[in-house]
Amino acid sequence: MNTDQQTVSPLLRVSDLEAGYGRLPVVRSLSIEVLPGEALALLGPNGHGKTTALRAISGLGRISSGQVVFDGSDITGMPAYTVVNHGMMHVPQGNQLFPRLTVRENLALAGAIPAARGQREETLEMIQRLFPKLQQRRGQLVGTLSGGERQMVAIGMGLMAKPKLLVLDEPTLGLAPKIRYEILDTLHEVRRLGLSLIVADGDIEFLFELTDRWHLVELGRIASSGTTDIKPSHEEVMDMYVGSRASSATNNIEGDRHV
C-alpha cells in the first residue's frame, strides 16, 4: 500500500455497526476503514459475522445501528442498487449468477448500471484480458461452467459495474489450489488499476498475499488487527480459528458459514 494513512481520507468508514437477522444481533459495534487503493481482509471462524457485516455495509442486509460513509456520502441503510451506483460492488459467496444466460450476457447485465453503461464494451474487453478463460467461454451458458469459471464470472460481473470498492465474500470457497492462484493473480492485476478491496475468505495465505491489513472478526466484533507484511504464526492461526475463544463463541452464536 502506497497511501499515507495520516493524510488520505478513507474511501469507506464504518462506525459502530450493529446488524443481524430478526432480533438476533450478529455484528456488534464493528468499525472499519478502507483507504483508496487499499485491500482489507476480514478473517476468523465461520459463523462470527463476516458475511453479515459485508451484507450490511453493501446494502444487502439490515443495519440496526451505526453509520456507513462511502466516498464522502452517508449510505447507511441504503438499498444495494443505490450503493452500487455510489461505487461499491458486492460479490457474494456462492456464485449467484444467471445460469441460463451466457458468460457475455451475465457480464453485460452487470454493466447496465448508469455509472458503467457508457464504458461497458471497454470494461468487457478488460475483463476478458484479465480472465482469458471467459473470452474462450463467452458464448457458453454459465450453468455449464466449472466452479472456478463461475467464480471468474462473478468477479467479472463485479468489475463490470466500474466500482471504486469491490467487496468479495469467500472468493476461493471450494476452488482447487490452481484456480485459487489464478484468482489471486487476477486480483493483483485489479489492485494495480487502483481498485480498493474488502475480502473475507477462509484461506489465510490467499488473504495475506492479496491484502494490506487484516481484522479478526470474533463474536461480531473486531477482536484484533494487523498488517499482512507480518504473518501470524501457526499457533496464532490455530488460536484464531479453533482456539478456546473460537470454540466458546461458536456455542454462543446461531449461524453457519453464511453468517
Per-residue pLDDT at 247: 45
| Residue 246: pLDDT over 50 | no
Q: How far apart are CA 91 and CA 84, in angstroms?
A: 11
Amino acid (1-letter code) at residue 178: K
Between residues 114 and 210, the one the model is more confident about: 210
At 93-128, the pLDDT tens digits run 887 899 999 999 999 999 888 878 888 889 999 999
| Residue 249: pLDDT over 70 | no
| Residue 23: pLDDT over 80 | no
pTM, rounded to two decimals: 0.87
Per-residue pLDDT at 254: 36
At 138-181, the pLDDT tens digits run 999 999 999 999 999 999 999 999 999 999 999 999 999 999 99
Residue 234's Cβ-count burial label (10 Å; 0-12, 13-18, 19+) is exposed
Looking at domain 9-84+211-259, does it have CATH number 3.50.30.10? no
Per-residue pLDDT at 112: 87
Domain residue extents for the chain: 9-84+211-259
Q: How far apart are CA 30 and CA 87, in angstroms?
A: 22
Pairing of strands 88-91, 165-169: parallel
Taking the alpha carbons at both ends of the chain, their separation in whole angstroms is 29
Read off the pLDDT of each residue in 183-207 and give the average, rounded to a whole number.
95
Between residues 239 and 128, the one the model is more confident about: 128
